[in-house]
Each structure stands twice: as structure tokens, then as C-alpha cells.
Chains A and B, each alone.
Chain A
Amino acid sequence: MTRKFLTLAAGALMLGMSSMSALAAGKTIAVSWKTFQEERWKTDEAAIKAVVEAAGNTYVSTDAQGSAQKQAADIEGLISQKVDVIMVVAFDSDAILPSFKAASDAGVKMLSYDVLVEDPNALYVTFDNVGVGRIIAQEIQKVKPEGNYAFIKGDKGDPNATFLFQGMMEVLKEALDSGKVKNVCETFTDGWKPDNAQKNMEQCLTSTGNKVDAVLAENDGMASGVVAALEAQGMVGIPVGGQDGDLAAINRVALGTQTVSVWKNARELGKVAAEAANAIADGTDPTKIAGVGKFSGGAKGVEVNAILLAPTPITKANVSAAIDAGHITKDQACAGVAAGAVPGC
């Protein structure tokens, strides 16, 4: 899999975009959501709506309620309302392709948000998922460049578990080859379950006589199991990495029991996507938008224009970032932390 895209720091991207969005006005930007069942989409929506309306454009939305048919009908309706841009969180990325084509034919600009739709005319805006594994490994390596690493991977049936691990290995390859870092345990975790991760970690510690210096868990839930296993051995404090930006994990980062939680800031994603939508509505060529690169990592290998946002590693140093972004309250993030001990608390 070759990746032909640029991953840009989100900050730079936003700077480049804000100047453009000021020009747009009076356009209609629609979002077709796949579902509102899950809490997180509300966050995305708020961010998108704010950016769209700040530019003087109109925000409309539809909810497919978890049905591919309804989503197709939703898009049809939006086309007939003559909206300028449709951003789609696809429920079924294959089934929705004809709708994308119909929209493009009708002159509506398309964006696929978070979920890849392999239509060469649509701009894909998402987080760099493989990058998450890389960032976890980088952050751990920063604090523990040498030693025995344990890898608590996700469910063996989930391709994400493998992607994440690949990312980690890219970063650690050199250190592993030179023997600086040793892979002492590496287990998949049934169902990404924290309690399974705890058991796996306990067995890892038993089988190595506690000779583990750092743990790379593939998500925060499993990191909580890892930390519980470490606690029972009085080993709390050794570097532990995870991802998701779980509220409990951010609290652990502040407490120092977890080193990093890589966080995909939905607000950030919404903001970037909305700014891109504003620009496209104004007639800007997608390839001219800052941060756009080519991406062909989908199942069919179709090359699309894409903005791949780098996720944010939350460490003790920037717990405040999550608080400032409104992702977590100060009380939640700093529970049990002495005031002032951690920046932001």
C-alpha cells in the first residue's frame, strides 16, 4: 500500500484555510449523517455547523438512521434542493457510490467525511488512522528509548488492530533490529476487551518476571486493563500508550499512570472538513486546498483527493488541549491530580 499524501499538522491547515472561507457567502452546505445514534457525531456536527455559518453559508443536514436506502434518498432530496456541497458520512460506502455519481452529474460538489467513499470526484477528509500507531510508538519511545516492550493488540478479526500494529512497527523497526527494544509479549485481545487485556498483561508480567519496561496498548480501554495489571505488581508509572482520547484515559495521563492517549479530535475534523466545504462551494479546486494529497488506500484502490489529519497525542504536557477543546471537563481530566502538578490542572 503506497500512501501518496501529505499529513499536515492541523494548525497549519486551519491557518491556510481561514483566509479562504471569508470569501464564501450565501451557499448551502449539506451533511448526510449515517446515524445520530452514536454520541460523537453531535460533536462533529457542532463544529461543522459553526464553521459553515461563520462563513455566511447555510447548514442543512439529514440523518440516514443507519439505513443505506434512506441515505440514498436523503442525497437525492438534497440534490433536488440544489445545495452546493454535500458532505457524506457513508453508512455503506459501496452502496452510496451511485448517489455520489448522480450528485456530481448534477453539479453538486461531494465530500466523504470520516468514511472513505471511493469516488475520484469526492474529497475525502479523515484522520490518518495508520498514523495513530506510529504516534503511540513515537511517544513511548521518547520516554523509554530502550527496554522490553509489551504489545497489547486489539481483536484479531479487526483490520484496525493490524494497521495500528504496522504503524508501531514502522517506528520501532530500527530499535527492534538493533536490539535496543525487545518485543517480550505480543497478544491480540478478544473483542478489544479491557478485562482480557488485563489478563493478557498479567500473564505477560508473570511469564517475564515483571521484566517489562513499556506497554503499547492499541486503545485506551485496553490501556485501563494494562494499568490495573501493572498496579497489582506495583509497576504503575512505566510508560503505557493507548488511543481514543477516552475521558478516563486523559485522567490517567494527568495522573501519570498512562503516558499517552492519541486523540482524534472530532471538532478538529469537523472544522477542517467544513472549511474545505466552504472553499469548494466557492469554486476552489479541491487539489488547491492546503493539506490535500492523493490517497488510494481503500479496498478498490481508487485514487482520491484527501485531507488526512494528524491525530493529537495527549500527554501530561498537553492535557490542557483536550480541556480547552471542550472534549473533557477540567474536573474529569484532573480528578485526583494535585492542583498545578500538571499543566492545565
Chain B
Amino acid sequence: MSKQQNSSANPALTDDGPIRRFLNATEIDTRMIGMIVALFAIWCAFDIASGILRGNFGGLLGGSFLTPRNLWTLLNQTASIAVMTTGMVLIIVMRQIDLSVGSMLSLVAVAGGVLQVYQLGPSLGVGHPAIWVLAIIAILALGTAIGAFNGYLTAYAQIPSFIVTLGGLIAYSGVAFLLAKGETVAPMDKTFKVLGGTIPASWIGPFWTWTLSFAACALIVFAIVNGRRQRVRFKFPLRPVWAEVTLAALGSIAVLGAAAVVNSYAWPPKLAENYAKENNITIPPGVEDKAGDAICMAGDAVVRCLEGLTLGTGYAAPVLIAFAIGAIMSFIATRTRFGRYVYAVGGNPEAANLAGINTRWLTVKVFALMGFLVGVSAIISSARLDAATNALGALNELYVIAAAVIGGTSLAGGVGTIYGAILGALLMQSIQSGMGLLNLPAAFQNIVVGTVLVIAVWLDQIYRRNVK
């Protein structure tokens, strides 16, 4: 890479430093770099702090945060909010707000739970393969319908979305309570649970993790090459080749690095032991070592050890779903007419209208999309909890909105990125999980998360003022 950098050190002498030149050439979003740096800083801080307060569990810096296990868990914990925040970006970009997502999640999750546990279970027989399919369809359809209803009231009845969804926030949780009769609806269908990421069946394992990751790398390279070809076709100025190569390399390193981390999280020993027994896999003999992730036979007993049988978990279903949603939503936001209109309306609703965009119908569609994503999150969270309750989504709206805002979505409308919001969700969950590792009182978590939200927006203001 350094060779290519040298070749680009062209005659033109500029007083820009190498970093600035690099950023200019690659056109990387500097705000995103800031967020990633902040994220890593927080991770490191938690790893050190957890090491001091709670002991070393193999973290990179002597704690328990920067371990494959914690990072793997972190991704799973983030998935539900991350999915919803991608929709919230579009809502906020369009100068609307949806305060009802949390209550809506409770409602559709409970509806899905009631359908599985009280309706389909008894009538089709528990575990019938149609149950999970019907439940998923019902949850997604109900979410979409409620979202569309919010959108209809906003766009056609001209009630401000703040009011419509504030009403929804209150009302939908009431409906959820009635549906669940205040009870926890459980347990979920066995196959449905696969979407929650807590059972081995929902871990795709190292092979598929690597396969998908390499496919993602190929996609990155393809996108860069294709973009370049297009620009060549119209004789547009091109990015220097070294910058393109660097971008492809950075993207691929990130993808493969993440894959390596999740693959190195081994199945919990007890589960690995069960799996080995069920599938007649021989567990190799070895020496017991409590610090190891592998299992081995010490005489007749299965024990933990450094060398032995390990099963990598790879990505869990919720994380894959979140990645897929993130990719699709990014695509929708930047590559489709629908996304373009959403941003245009956010930039100037009147102009969009005058350009012939049916802004009302667009509003309905965006809210319906939000509802669909709430449905996806409802599936993830109820499958993960293996239960549905009317408290499941409570307060989620705040985290979803906060994630979008931390991720750079402007409440003034017109500005926001999907990947930024997902990073925002990850950042917030990192703080919560980190505080959880330190076993600090929940009150501290709230203080820190709230503070981070305000600081993030403040830094964003400074950034926007200083970067043209």
C-alpha cells in the first residue's frame, strides 16, 4: 500500500498533511471515522475498567469487554434497536418523528406471541412448522399496517406525526397489555426462537461466516470497480487508484476482522458437550484448564481446557438480519428513487411537492416501512427473550431516536445516514453493556447514555460548523 501512496505523491506540492490528503482522496466520511474512534476508545476504556473492577477474562486489555464473547453478545444486544433505527433515519430525514415504535414493538410482539402460544400452538400442535411462518407473516403484516396507519393520519389527516405517534406510544402499549392480559406470553415456537440468537441453531458457524464475509468483500470490490467504470464511462474525475485500493482493503479488513472475532467465540462448554454427545463427535482427551474455551476429556469427565474440541459460533441470526436490513436500507436510501424522494422532502417539502413528488403517499410508505422494521425487531426481541410481554418494547423509541441522532441524523430533516445510525446504536449499547459488565447501578447507565447523547449532538454541531 505504501508503494501506491508514494506513487501518488505527485508533483503538486500541497500543505495538506498526509491524513487530510488521504481523507480527501478516499472521500471517506470523516464523521464516521470520528464515531469509530469514539467507539474503540469506549471499548478500550471498558475493557481496562472491567479488568480492574471484575477481573481478567481474556480481554485484549485485561478485562472482559474486548473478548470475542462480549463483542459477540454486544452485536446480538444491538440488533433489535439497530434494525429499527434504520427506519427512524428515514422518518427523521423526512422531518417526521415516530414515538410509537416501542409500544408498537410490544404490540406486534405480543400479537405474535398470542398467535403462537394461545392460537396456533393448541390448534396445529406445538412445534408445527406452519406456526413460525404464520407468526412471522402476521407480525410483519401487523407492523406494516400500524405504521401505515400512523403515516395515513400524519399525511392525509394532517395531524403532526409527533402527536399521532405520541398517541400511539400511549395507546399501542395499552392494546398490548389487553392482548397479553398483562401476562408474559411464552414460550415461543422452537423454530421461531432460531431468529433470537440464543440457541445453537441460530449460530451459523465459522464456515458460513467466512463464506458470507468473503462474499461481502467481493461485493465491496465490485462496488468500487463498478463505480470507477461508471465514472470512466462519463469521463468524470477519478479517485487515485491507491485510494480505491485502500478503500477496498479497509472495507475487507473490517469485514474479515469481524468474522474472525465472532468465529473465535466458542460455544459455551455445556452446549458443546451436548452437541458432541448428540452427534457422536469424540471429545479429545486433554488437561483441565478452567481458563480455556475448549472442552476435553479428563478421564471420564468432560472438562474445560486450552486444547480440545471447540465449536465457533459465527454470526447469530439477529446480527445477520441486522446486517441485511442495514445493507438493504442503505441501498434504499441512496440508490433508489424512493430514498431520493425521502431526502428531497426532508430538504424542502414544498420543493419536493412542486417537483411532482406525491409527498403524502411517500409519508405513508415511509411510516409503513418503519412499521415493517418494528415487526422485524419484534421478531428478533421476542425470539431472543423466548417470550413476549407488553413491556418488551417500552422506551425503545428513545433508544432508536437517540441512535439515529448520535449517528448524525439531523432533527431538522434532510440529513442522515443508515450506517451512522447503526454505529450510533452500537455505541449506545456498548455503553450499556460496558456498564453492565462493571456491575454499576442502572442509574449510572442512564446518566451516561443521556450524557453521551447530548455530547454527541454537540460534537456534531461543532463538526458541521467547521467542516464545510
Contact = CB atoms under 8 A, between A and B. Distances in A.
B26 interface: no
A301 interface: no
Contact of B77 (A38, A191, A202, A251): A202
B256 interface: no
Interface residues of B, number: 53
Interface stretch (B132-140, B148-156, B269-277, B331-339): B269-277
Contacts, number: 138
Interface in A218-249: 220-221, 224-225, 227-229, 231-235, 246-249
B389 A194 contact: yes
B183 A247 contact: yes
Contacts of B95: none
Nearest to B77: A199
B274 A232 contact: no
A190 B64 CA distance: 23
Nearest to A201: B436
A228 B198 contact: yes
Interface in A244-268: 246-249, 251-252
Contact of B184 (A38, A39, A221, A233): A221
Given A38-B182, A39-B182, A195 B392 contact: yes
A209 B304 CA distance: 12
Interface in A302-345: 331, 335-336
Interface stretch (B67-75, B231-239, B243-251): B67-75
Interface string A121-154: 0000000000000000000000000000000000
Contacts of A192: 391
B198 A156 contact: no
Contact of B441 (A188, A209, A228, A251): A188
B50 to A, nearest CB: 6
A228 B432 CA distance: 19
A199 B270 contact: no
Contact of B381 (A195, A203, A331): A195
B186 A251 contact: yes
A193 interface: yes
B341 to A, nearest CB: 35
B23 interface: no
Given A207-B439, A248-B186, A234 B126 contact: no
Contacts of B274: 234
A21 B183 CA distance: 34
A331 B70 CA distance: 38
A195 B267 CA distance: 22
A225 B183 contact: no
B229 interface: no
Contacts of A65: none
A232 B317 CA distance: 13
A68 to B, nearest CB: 21
Most buried by B among A232, A249, A336: A232
A176 B183 CA distance: 34
Given A39-B182, A331-B122, A206 B70 contact: yes
A232 to B, nearest CB: 4
A194 B182 contact: no
Contacts of A114: none
A221 B385 CA distance: 10
B182 A206 contact: no
Interface in A36-54: 38-40
Nearest to A150: B439
Interface in B419-466: 432-433, 436-439, 441-443, 445-446
B268 interface: yes
A339 B267 CA distance: 32
B181 interface: yes
B46 to A, nearest CB: 10
Contacts of B438: 207
A187 interface: yes
Contacts of B184: 194, 220-221, 224, 246-249
Nearest to A335: B126
A74 interface: no
Interface string B377-418: 000010011110101101100000000000000000000000
Contacts of B308: none
A234 B433 CA distance: 21
A198 B432 CA distance: 13
B292 to A, nearest CB: 11
B185 interface: yes
A71 to B, nearest CB: 22
Contacts of A249: 184
A335 B126 CA distance: 9
Interface of B: 50, 54-55, 57, 64, 67, 69-70, 73, 77, 121-122, 126, 181-187, 196-199, 267-274, 381, 384-387, 389, 391-392, 394-395, 432-433, 436-439, 441-443, 445-446
Given A191-B391, A203-B439, A227-B386, 5 more contacts: A156-B442, A185-B439, A234-B271, A248-B387, A336-B126
Interface of A: 38-40, 156, 185-195, 198-200, 202-204, 206-210, 220-221, 224-225, 227-229, 231-235, 246-249, 251-252, 331, 335-336
12 contacts: A156-B443, A185-B439, A190-B395, A193-B391, A199-B77, A203-B73, A207-B50, A221-B389, A224-B186, A227-B386, A232-B199, A234-B269
* Among all A-B residue pairs, the 10 with the closest Cβ atoms: A203-B436, A234-B270, A248-B186, A234-B271, A232-B198, A188-B442, A207-B437, A234-B268, A233-B268, A224-B387
